[in-house]
Amino acid sequence: MASSTILSRKIIKPSPSIPSSHRHYNLSFRDQTANPAYLPIAALYSKPENHNITQISHILENSLSKILFFYYPFAGRIKDNKYVDCNDTGAEYFNVHVNCQMSEILTNPYNDAIEIVFPQNLAWSNSLSKERSSLVVVQLSHFDCGGVAVSICVSHKIADGYSACKFLSDWISMARDDELNFQPSPQFDGALFFPPIDNPPPMPNVVPVTQRCVSKMYNFSSSSLFKLKDIVSTNSQIQKPSRIEVATSLLHKCGVDVSMAKLGVFKPTMLFHVMNLRPPIPLNTMGNANCLFSATAMTQDNITLPNYVAQLQKAKQQLRDELKDMNTDQLASHAIEKIKEIAIIMKQDAFDMYFCTSLCTFGSHKIDFGWGSPIRVTQVKQPMKNQFIFMDDPTGEGINVLITLTEADMLLFQNNKELLQFASPVVQSLE
């Protein structure tokens, strides 16, 4: 079984130091009510041909220090859930040796093995706990075979998935900037769009008692996505279903199949999807700028691909119409009520619930610091069952989806014939 040894731990501070005019960054309302968990992402690389581990670590540390100057709140500390003290405290940086071959991780049928490239028990943990207050934590892992992995965890209190991927993308550009000309332009103005409130209400915990979950990654090739789109368009009035919509609908249907196999009857479902609010909010606005929309299936007829894609599109458009005429106070109330609604529905257990997040088009598959493209980009399993995280595959045309289910449900899900007709497990080696 793989184990790891910490070789060093450093604090990487911004360079140059943050000016006094930028020392205080107000959290937006969406930041105040965001889950404090770390958002984790990792990239794994085969043995670099032209870089040794010392050179790689130097590149990462030097460029991280530079990019933190532009993303100055990421190097600070949150105070009273109201603001970030941008005090140059810095980000944590671990250099770790993993005592196994990288192929042991990549050929494992379960994605759970990837946890070894993250600091122990960090991913999805509370970023505001007394044990750890860094808002950004990076780990460089190197394997016995010479392969390396770079993982990053960013606190959800200062970044949603879009912001975390934008930070990562700009960090990569900084690492590859030999001419020292790169000038990223993130804007930390979320409070203008979601003004903070003095006493934000405590958010209900939507994560139930810890469940024994496992995760697997599946790939939808561009050709499979085209076939799914064609099925939807041919059997409905929907002309341009998106690749996320058709993949979500298929996975949801497979989840329902699992539920019916266990219960013997159809149980209503509710699927929540995260929607990025950029635009209309500017693309360079960092922080949390998203909201949830949901689609419900009350009968078995609702789960056919055309019907469910229609449901998703209708729910998304309905949310856009609602938000269009809301002022900032109404936006705040809407966000609070949506989270409370989820907590109540989960407690009632009247629905099977699914949660989806898409990192597609955010550039997560292009994590090349200068020693080549990654073999795999992934996250660790979610702390809650029935989660689907979508990412671009290495081609940029297909989709990799990380699926977290209970162990018992995964045994049924992974054998679903319709799933395997359009998606294949992501399991590979270095051969």
- Catalytic residue numbers, as ranges: 156, 368
Task: Compute the Cα dihedral for 319, 40, 406, 389 and give only its sign.
Answer: positive
Label residues 284-317 b or e (16+ Cβ within 10 Å = b): ebbbbbbbbbbbebeeeebbbbbbbbbbbbebbe
CA distance 369 to 169: 10
∠ Cα 408 409 410 (to 5°): 90
Label residues 345-360 b or e (16+ Cβ within 10 Å = b): bbeeeebbbbbbbbbb
Backbone angles phi, psi at 218, to 5 degrees: -125, 150
- Are 96 and 140 contacting, i.e. CB atoms less than 8 angstroms apart? yes
DSSP strands (E only) in 147-268: 148-155, 213-220
Radius of gyration over every alpha carbon of the chain, rounded to an integer in angstroms: 21
DSSP single-letter state for residue 200: P
DSSP strands (E only) in 335-429: 352-358, 376-378, 387-392, 399-406, 424-425
- β-strands 387-392, 77-79: how paired? unpaired
Two tokens at 184? 């990223």
CA distance 366 to 426: 18
370 φ/ψ sector (left φ>0, alpha ψ -120 to 50, else beta): left
∠ Cα 127 133 136 (to 5°): 70
Backbone angles phi, psi at 261, to 5 degrees: -65, -35
Cα–Cα distances (Å) from 18 to 23, 97, 235, 348, in that order, read 7, 33, 57, 48
- H-helix or E-strand containing 374? none
